[in-house]
Chain A
């Protein structure tokens, strides 16, 4: 069964400094991986996704993530944090190898990003 571990429950950065949100996954099959963002009192928005094409994936708002199979990691980065990036971020794995389960997503516990001015 697939699983996701987000290594930090809270991350605090200063505006203009780099952001790193860490994610490790476990999957028996070739995984699809996603990062979703949830702003306070809002729904979830897709930031980016990896589906076995390029290992470096670029998303919206300047975020990117690199799929590293040898490390089973999919860390999210951004060169320069903005105040509007303050939100909760979820790393998500979807199992490509089990049609019965369709589009099942498994979520990490989330990382709350705080951006200081």
Chain B
């Protein structure tokens, strides 16, 4: 089944304790992206990756890191989490980035609900 998977689905942690949220897709998609969802704000892009070893900042990158060593995986790293990073996080992927010019549908993972105390 074609899908985007995220782990963990739920995480409660404390300020300053480094964590990683994994994201994996099995559709051979080039483009992957991370979003955070906060009430009344919709989804905002954190980082995106056009392809392996190519990543760039989205609209709200502060406090986050990403890597894209393999096509299928795009982990989100919080080196020193803070309470303002408590949110619902979504990973997404699509077939292509630049060539598609934004026409391709993005497929979303199930979400990771993170609470930072």
From A12-20, A62-70, A76-84, A92-100, give the one contacting chain B.
Answer: A92-100
Of B40, B42, B50, B108, which contacts A102 at CB under 8 A?
A: B50
Q: What per-residue 1/0 map shows which CB atoms of A29-57 lie under 8 Å from chain B?
A: 00110101000001111100101000000
Of A45, A102, A107, which contacts B31 at CB under 8 A?
A: A102
Report the separation of the CA atoms of residues A45 and B111 in the bound assembly, to the nearest whole angstrom: 12
Of A42, A49, A107, which contacts B110 at CB under 8 A?
A: A42
Report the separation of the CA atoms of residues A106 and B100 in the bound assembly, to the nearest whole angstrom: 16
The answer to whether B98 touches A102 (Cβ under 8 A) is yes
The answer to whether B43 touches A103 (Cβ under 8 A) is no
What is the minimal beta-carbon distance from A103 to any residue of chain B, in angstroms?
A: 5
The answer to whether A96 touches B110 (Cβ under 8 A) is no
The answer to whether A97 and B58 touch (CB under 8 A), given A104-B45, A109-B40, is no
**Residues in A neighbouring B106, C-beta threshold 8 A:** 46, 103, 105
The answer to whether A32 and B103 touch (CB under 8 A), given A43-B109, A103-B94, A105-B45, is yes
Report the separation of the CA atoms of residues A17 and B10 in the bound assembly, to the nearest whole angstrom: 37
The answer to whether B42 touches A108 (Cβ under 8 A) is yes
What is the minimal beta-carbon distance from B90 to any residue of chain A, in angstroms?
A: 7
What is the minimal beta-carbon distance from A90 to any residue of chain B, in angstroms?
A: 6
A-B contact pairs, 5 of them (CB 8 A): A45-B108, A46-B106, A102-B100, A103-B106, A105-B102
Other A-B pairs beyond A32-B102, A36-B108, A94-B103, 12, CB < 8 Å: A9-B40, A31-B102, A42-B110, A42-B111, A44-B108, A45-B108, A90-B43, A96-B101, A96-B102, A104-B33, A105-B106, A107-B35
